[in-house]
Amino acid sequence: MEKILAVYDTDIEYATRFMEYFKKKKNIDFEISAFTKKESLLDFLKLHRTEILLFSDEMIIDDLAGSNVRYLYQLVENPRKAKEEDPTQIYKYQAVSQVMAEIMTDYIRRENIQAVNTVSDKAEIISICSPIPSSSKSYFAWSLAIMRSHQSKVLHIPLEIFPIRLLSQIDNSNQALSEFIYYLKENSNIIQCLNTLLSITDKLSYLSGISHGFDLAALSKEDMIHWVEEMKLHTDYQTIIFSFSCYTEAMAELLRQSDKVYMTIEETAYEKSVHMEWEQQLEQIGIHTDQDKFIKVYMQNTDMSTAITGISLLELQKTAAWNTAMQQVREG
């Protein structure tokens, strides 16, 4: 049974916008119900378990006490109040898609916190790596993560020293990854912190946003061992995907800890030479890339990132990187 998302607003036109939005979206796991009269809403809630209620009338809060609603989100008219005071308060006068993005980001965060003590020994760790960064390789990593998120619960962690906004729906400005790395070095119970910092796009959870590349360089081998072990044991994600293009002791340890490693290579003579040297250096520290878990993925050198705002998901699906990722998903 699909979860129910109810919208209550006395403005008929506003409620209708949500109904139209959900009719067009095919990948939202919610059934939408919109109400413009309080009595109709309260009657509905008596009979139906509702996962999310989005409402604009503050006067209704007292009527909802003890109701059949799991999460409440309030539409507010002051954008500053919506952003600074409470993530459950959403600025009303913006695109429905943005309203839903903010709701789903907080919803996933709260769901993850509730699942913090769930033990899972089935988490698969995947690394997507190359010593040379490029937009095509980043597109491949995001494409693979998005596709896998439609099959299972996936967390993507791009470890980018120089993060740029390749995808329009990805926000790197919150410095969440830097905040998490600081917490990782100072605390043993890291998962609750991790879950509060996650964002979501489509069905994919992700952790990104670095204040300075030195934060990644500061990760030690011991930090990485602790991080991966905690995620394997104390999250309910079935797949955790790291992507990176830097070579440090911590990243080498991540390769050891990974169940599968995609080594992305653009087919130029220079890049093939660099990869050969990289593999030789890995051999020197006991990482043998002839193991079955290492998969070489050859990429086309394409660059669509012509705007600071990044490309859309629809544009991503037209790239060669998306097709390459699709092939890897099909091959398992």
Tens digits of residue pLDDT in 131-162: 999 989 999 999 999 999 988 899 999 998 88
For residues 301-326, average pLDDT: 80
Is the per-residue pLDDT at 119 higher than 50?
no
CB-based contacts of 165, cutoff 8 Å, min separation 6? 171, 172, 308, 309, 310
Which tops the pLDDT comparison, 49 or 79? 49
Is the per-residue pLDDT at 117 higher than 60?
no
Q: Per-residue confidence at 108, pLDDT binned at 50, 70, 90?
A: confident
Q: How far apart are CA 94 and CA 99, in angstroms?
A: 7
Q: How far apart are CA 277 and CA 272, in angstroms?
A: 9
Is the per-residue pLDDT at 173 higher than 90?
no
H-state helical runs in 1-159: 12-24, 38-47, 79-84, 96-114, 135-149
Burial-class residue 274 by CB neighbours within 10 Å (0-12, 13-18, 19+): middle
Q: State the fold for domain 3-114.
A: Rossmann fold (3.40.50)
CB-based contacts of 40, cutoff 8 Å, min separation 6? none
Q: β-pairing, 260-266 with 124-129? A: parallel
Mean pLDDT of the chain: 86
| Whether the Cβ atoms of residue 93 and residue 77 lie closer than 8 Å to each other | yes
Is the per-residue pLDDT at 76 higher than 60?
yes
- Where are the domains positioned within the chain? 3-114, 124-331
Q: What is the pTM of this model?
A: 0.67
241: phi then psi, degrees, rounded to nearest 5: -110, 120
Q: Per-residue confidence at 45, pLDDT binned at 50, 70, 90?
A: confident
Which tops the pLDDT comparison, 117 or 311? 311
For residues 39-67, average pLDDT: 82
Over the stretch 235-256, which tens digit does the pLDDT of each residue have? 888 999 999 999 999 999 999 9
Domains 3-114 and 124-331 share a fold: yes
Class of 124-331 per CATH? alpha beta
